[in-house]
Amino acid sequence: MSTPHNAAQMGDIAKTVLMPGDPLRAKYIADNYLTDVVCYNTVRNMLGYTGYYKGKRISVQGSGMGIPSIGIYSHELYNMYGVESIIRIGSAGAIADDAHIRDIIIGMGACTNSNYAIQYRLPGTYAPIASYDLLEKAVNAARAIGANYKVGNVFSSDTFYDDAASLGDWRKMGVLAVEMESAALYMNAARAGKKALCLLTISDCPFTGEETTAEERQNSFTQMMEIALEIAE
């Protein structure tokens, strides 16, 4: 059973999927951390791999950029391929004063300016949150390796180039970082009765101008990758 976006057949994908936005980060993880790797998807170059990490069968697949893209891929993984947990491993821009380049953000909740939740016809405003058991495991794993991490709210923006320059307003509300996917992943997981967690590495600081290169984002955010691999079920 393939979909318009995924060539995998049922059984090709593990119960836990690590999901970076960049498909080349998926390839990096498959090449450097997994054994007995099989590539199950190349459609639209959204690379997907299944292999083993310390005896655990794990898949890793790109999600693309933005809520519509991760909304498609995570929906299919949860509802058409029997995936139980998705751990997003992405990059984010620092909003909080005490968030710095290469810090790890564990997204407890995800604010958003997206209208993604309208499809559920809810009589109010939905608050997308992580699965607590995955969050707790991630905190313990981050502590175990001595990572600089923070747990809290992130902002999933529909716009990368924000004409309203609104990050300062989210900063006032204690939001730690801005990215573009987590809210949709959390909503899809909730609707499917599945698990989700977002681990983010700070790649740039919009208020200070600090930033990493595309190659560094692709290949060097290894602490986040290792935390996700350790907590995969």
**Residues forming the active site:** 204
Q: Which tokens sit at 40?
A: 């199950």
Sign of torsion over alpha carbons 88, 84, 107, 183: positive
Q: Residue 180: name the closest of 162, 164, 196, 168 by CA.
A: 162
| b/e code 71-109 from CB counts within 10 Å (16+ = b) | bbbbbbbbeebebbbbbbbbbbbbbbeebeeebbbbbbb
**Which amino acid appears at position 142 of this protein?**
A
Alpha helices in 120-221 (DSSP H): 132-144, 167-172, 182-192, 214-219
Q: Distances from the Cα of 100 to the Cαs of 28, 117, 145, 170, in angstroms?
A: 24, 31, 18, 17
- Give the Cβ contact number of residue 218 at 10 Å: 17
Give SS3 for 67: helix
Q: Which tokens sit at 169?
A: 């307003």
Q: Are 179 and 99 in contact (CB under 8 A)?
A: no
